[in-house]
A = this chain, B = another copy of it.
Amino acid sequence: MKTFEIIGLIAATLTTSSFIPQVYKAWKHKSTTDISLVMYLILFIGSMLWLYYGLMIQSLPVIFANGITGTLVAFVVILKLKYK
């Protein structure tokens, strides 16, 4: 595997897992006032479309990254609606 491919995998892991601290913070503090619901709704739709695209081009990294991102983003939407 070439160096830049490893960097691509690290990038995918970082951008995907970056939502975990936001889910944790919203869940722990039960406060989401400053979080933009519009952002997370758009992000959810976007990651679902990326997931479809990944399935079409049969790219495991795209499928994997957006499956997780979509799930984490859905959690933030639920927490946002719960603790408006």
Contact = CB atoms under 8 A, between A and B. Distances in A.
Interface of A: 4, 7-8, 10-15, 17-22, 24-26, 29, 31-36, 38-40, 42-43, 45-47, 49-50, 52-53, 56-57
Contacts of A7: 49, 52-53, 56
Contacts of A22: 35-36, 39
- Chain A contact surface mostly: helix
A14 B43 contact: yes
Given A25-B34, A34-B25, A36-B22, A15 B50 contact: yes
A38 B22 CA distance: 8
A60 B15 CA distance: 19
